Amino acid sequence: MVRGNFHFGYKAAFMFWSLVPFIFASQDMKDSISKAREAEGHLHEGPLRLREVVFVIQSQRNSFHVQRAETLQADLLLQTDALQEMPPAVLMLHALSDSEGDWSVLPLLPYFSSHFGRNSSWIMFLEEETNVNMEKLHSALKKFDHRKEWFLGKPLHDDESTIIHHYAFSENPSAFEYPDFSAGWALSMPLVHRLANKVQKEPLKSDFTIDLKHEVALYIWEGGDGLRLTAVPELCTLPGHSTRSQHCATTVGVHPPLCGVPVKKEDIFVAVKTCKKFHLDRVPVVKKTWAKQAAFLEYYSDYADTSIPTVDLGVPNTDRGHCGKTFAILSRYASDAVPKTDWLLIVDDDTLISLPRLQALLSCYNPREPVCLGERYGYGLGQGGYSYITGGGGMVFSREAVLRLLASGCKCYSDDAPDDMVVGMCLSALRLPVTHSALFHQARPDDYAKDLLAHQTPISFHKHWNIDPIAVFHQWLNDDVDGSSQTTAREEL
């Protein structure tokens, strides 16, 4: 059942109670109130008012992310109060219903249309880390006629066709633009109504949700019959302290969150999945780059090679899937065979990762909670499917998550089943959330928009195909001791 989540703080709180009869009234009463207000000229006439904007924070169920979303929510309402405006609705995406697919946004369009269509002009989506200047955002939105269809955002484009976008627009990848969610993006209510009708009449077709921002833009574009993204210069991903951000209504920071002292490397056990045929080419890359950053690391293979060394888990190698191997790793981690740590990191032998950056990020998470962290994908989300951590970017589990997963008895249906998807199905059955971080990457740097990576401090990339993996590691993931890391360079972009 869909449920609203309205939280209003501090001085703005008293204004909320004037709206309570409207929010919680019966549908007939809502219709009556709306008609009366429209007759009085309070809605959709004259300048746009902030209470006509519905803010949707693309939040997550993990406690750290709930706290971040609540902080943003309170800030938006305090700013609105300071502007002497009536408070808008500020929703948390994860709290709107119990459906796993809500983070993919499209299934919720009918809810937005029916609950806010009569009284609102815009649905404005924000990420937890988006910093918002409400006065500048208000001014930016007023430039657009909300009675027409608009799809607003900061545009990204691909420089070359990429696997994460199914090689779309291969003849001219830069021709198609999609929004950078970090900058915020908006839909006018007429567009929400039309898309909501489409969602209700036509089942969402895509089985996989891989890069939501691109897939949302494709859905709205409708093969050329729909709407393209309109660029809004005030929606930015510049750092808030940048001199070039003075015109910006939204800004973001380039540094990942740090919630205290980074976790010790001794608190992370690293499991590298490999096989005999990659012992001579992929394993040396791991050893030359990031393996030296780990305190506890084991290579798991189908062949025990003492020169590396590797551990043979007794699971035959498969050309794909590797579910049997991953579940054997989970069982070994929970046993006395390896050092007891708070965190387990499982990566492929062609994953490039920064363990110091991971240590900093993990300072924000409680290992006593069942945390499952990485780059989130979805399968069949429009039809009651599930989320999963895509394995190539790295799968991070708290010890509590591993113990609950193993205790459930959930297991592979075959050794070559897709390990990340099977784990996702198990987590969904246990109602354990998959926590997304955009800093993990299933593909290579070249597969992502340059403007997107410009405001990230990435934690991982995946695949050695058509690149020099050692050079990529040093360019993107290695924080040099002399302070000349790429993070500083990207901050100035």
| Confidence at residue 32, expressed as pLDDT on a 0 to 100 scale | 39
Cis peptide before 309 (omega within 30 of 0): yes
CATH topology for 10-251 is Spore Coat Polysaccharide Biosynthesis Protein SpsA; Chain A (3.90.550)
Question: H/E/C letters for each residue in the chain?
Answer: CCCCCCCCCHHHHHHHHCCHHHHHCCHHHHHHHHHHHHHCCCCCCCCCCHHHEEEEECCCCCHHHHHHHHHHHHHHHHHHHHCCCCCCCEEEHHHCCCCHHHHHCHHHHHHHHHHHCCCCCEEEEECCCCEECHHHHHHHHCCCCCCCCCEEECEECCCCCCHHHCCCCCCCHHHCCEECHHHCEEEEHHHHHHHHHHHHHCCCCCCEECCHHHHHHHHHHHHHCCCCCEECCCECCCCCCCHHHCCCCEECCCCCCCCCCCCCHHHEEEEEECCHHHCCCHHHHHHHCCHHHCCEEEEEECCCCCCCCEEECCCCCCCCCEHHHHHHHHHHHCCCCCCCCCEEEEEECCEEECHHHHHHHHCCCCCCCCCEEECEEEECHHHCCEEEECHHHCEEEEHHHHHHHHHCCCCCCCCCCEHHHHHHHHHHHHCCCCEECCCCCCCCHHHCCHHHHCCCCCCEEECCCCCCHHHHHHHHCCCCCCCCCHHHHHHCC
- Beta strands 376-379; 386-389: pairing state: antiparallel
Fold: same for 10-251 and 265-491: yes
Q: Which tokens hold the place of 36? A: 């009366």
Per the rule left: phi > 0, alpha: psi between -120 and 50, beta: everything else, 56 is beta
Which amino acid is present at 319? D
**Contact 274/301 with Cβ under 8 angstroms?**
yes
CATH number, domain 265-491: 3.90.550.50
- Give residue limits of the domains in the chain: 10-251, 265-491
Per-residue b or e along 24-47, where b marks 16 or more CB atoms closer than 10 Å to that residue's CB? eeeeeebeebbeeeeeeebbbeee
Beta carbons within 8 Å of 466's beta carbon, 6+ residues apart: 444
List of the chain residues with pLDDT < 50: 1-2, 4-43, 481-493
How far, in whole angstroms, is CA 338 from its chain's centroid? Answer: 32
pLDDT given for residue 35 in this prediction: 41
Residues forming beta bridges with residue 405, ordered by sequence position: none
**Residue 458 to residue 438: CA distance in whole angstroms:** 8
Block residue for tokens 């992370």: 268
CA distances from 85 to 185, 240, 491 (A): 22, 24, 35
pTM: 0.88
Angle between helices 189-201 and 109-116 (to 10 degrees): 130
CB 428 within 8 A of CB 373: no
Residue 36 is predicted with a pLDDT of 36
